[in-house]
Structure 1
Amino acid sequence: MTASPLGDYQPGTSVFHRLPVGAKLLGLLVLSIVAVTFRGVPTTVGLLGLAVAGCVVAGVRLRRAARALRGVLVAMTLLAAYQTWQRGGEHAFVVVGALVALLLLATVFTTTTSVERMVDAITRWLGPFRRLGVNPELVALAFSLMIRGIPLTLAIAGETRDAARARGLERNPRAYLTPLVIRVVAHARATGDALHARGLGDD
């Protein structure tokens, strides 16, 4: 099965491991806004530099970072080709480079933050909204399932792509997308059934 660093916590003692969840999420949000608002080669180069430095400081293994990029390699390649055709190579570098940087930064976040800490933080943040009918625990559970589902979905995509390639159908989108959608939906339904059996989501 193809693994993914997204949602895969790696214990450690780096400064990123010690930072509060909120501070890391705020940093990601700010950098995402910067990437969109100040588009340009200098911004993209700066973001890529920060991403690489973040991976080094956080102790993200090179293989793990490579797996993060491998999961979106086809999409990034197609996007780069399209942007180069439409707007030129420089614009393609700005767009794709920023996306790669943000993906690596997100990998730093998920690598240095356990799902339990994320869930605890969300439950705490939403606590004041309980009087308005919000169920913090249920929202936190949904977030946890989403985070855990990212690596599984990418793994299924990798397996489906490999299966299509083994049959010589790697150029046939239907041979790749149809089984991918079926397997992802089947997993989602199985997860929903398991939650329902435990009495969750009945409200």
Structure 2
Amino acid sequence: MRGHNFLIGQYVPGDSFLHRMRYLYKLLGMAVVGVLCYLLPLLFPPSWLVLGLLLLAVLLLFMAARLPWRALLGPIKLLWPVLLILGAYQCLIQGFIAGVLIAANILLVMLSCVYAASLLSLTSKSQEILDGLTSLVRPLRWLGADPERFALTVSMMFRSIPYLLGAYADVHDAAKARGLERSVKAHLMPTVISTVALAQSTGEALAARGIGD
């Protein structure tokens, strides 16, 4: 099932400079992309031009990391309905020309941030992510924070979200095969059952290792 395959993770083995870079540096780079998405339109209008250059820079990093092209197509397949709705809304509210420009800015910002986050996960092993998050939270230990538990929680969240998306895709395919692609019940109940099963199995695994007591 695709839902269960998603649980394995998205890391793509390689020997590029991004694969060798420390996780915290890559995390900082992703944060820089997010900040630039906010600052560049304010400093260098027209914003679609500078945001396009930013997206181009992120795509060049994809090429430098020698990642598969399907990693570029995945976010577009997921985002295009949202982008289409946002674009139509902006055209309706702002007028066609202004709406298209605003929609283009939204598209460039979303793709830049999503691809930057994808670079982070595609070039980082699970253990690197855990170690990096643990180091990031360690200064907060004096406030009572548990860095290891925080890193584990974030890691489980990152793995659970794609699992649930994949589980829904499996349910949708099964419902479509039975001619029930428009049935809310045929989609909702199996997805809820998969979600509860994931939560129970995760809790049992953590309890067996003495985590969460």
Shorter chain as denominator, the TM-score bin is: 0.7 to 0.9
In 2, Cα distance between equivalents of 1:70 and 1:47: 21
Q: 1:175 to 1:190 in 2, by over 3 A?
A: same
In 2, Cα distance between equivalents of 1:5 and 1:69: 21
Q: Is the 8 A contact 1:6 1:151 kept in 2?
A: no
Match of 1:138 among 146, 149, 152: 149
What residue in structure 2 maps to residue 70 of structure 1? 77
| 1:35 equivalenced with 2:28 (yes/no) | no
What residue in structure 2 maps to residue 157 of structure 1? 168
Deviates more, 1:123-132 or 1:49-58: 123-132
Q: 1:54 to 1:154 in 2, by over 3 A?
A: farther
* Percent identity of paired positions between Structure 1 and Structure 2: 33
In 2, Cα distance between equivalents of 1:15 and 1:21: 12
- Could you say which structure has the larger radius of gyration? 2
Deviation at 1:170, TM superposition (A): 4.4
Aligned residue type for 1:16: L
Match of 1:194 among 191, 205, 210: 205
Q: TM-score, normalised by structure 2?
A: 0.79
Deviation at 1:167, TM superposition (A): 4.3
Q: Is the 8 A contact 1:5 1:151 kept in 2?
A: yes
Deviations 1:89-126 (A, max 9, x none): 22111112321221112111111111101111222233
Q: Is the 8 A contact 2:30 2:116 kept in 1?
A: yes
Deviates more, 1:32-41 or 1:101-110: 32-41
What residue in structure 1 maps to residue 53 of structure 2? 46
What residue in structure 1 maps to residue 13 of structure 2? 11
Deviation at 1:58, TM superposition (A): 1.0
In 2, Cα distance between equivalents of 1:50 and 1:174: 44
What residue in structure 1 maps to residue 102 of structure 2? 91
Q: Is the 8 A contact 2:9 2:159 kept in 1?
A: yes
In 2, Cα distance between equivalents of 1:123 and 1:146: 15
Aligned residue type for 1:36: Y
Structure 1: give runs of 5+ residues left out of the alignment: none
Deviations 1:146-186 (A, max 9, x none): 22223312312322333344344545666545544443344
Q: 1:113 to 1:81 in 2, by over 3 A?
A: same
What residue in structure 2 maps to residue 60 of structure 1? 67
Q: Is the 8 A contact 2:7 2:160 kept in 1?
A: no
In 1, Cα distance between equivalents of 2:134 and 2:147: 5
Q: CA RMSD in A?
A: 2.8
In 1, Cα distance between equivalents of 2:113 and 2:204: 34
Deviation at 1:51, TM superposition (A): 2.4
In 2, Cα distance between equivalents of 1:173 and 1:46: 42
In 2, Cα distance between equivalents of 1:48 and 1:174: 40
Question: Secondary structure of the residue that 1:71 maps to in structure 2?
Answer: helix
Aligned residues: 202
Structure 2: give runs of 5+ residues left out of the alignment: 42-46
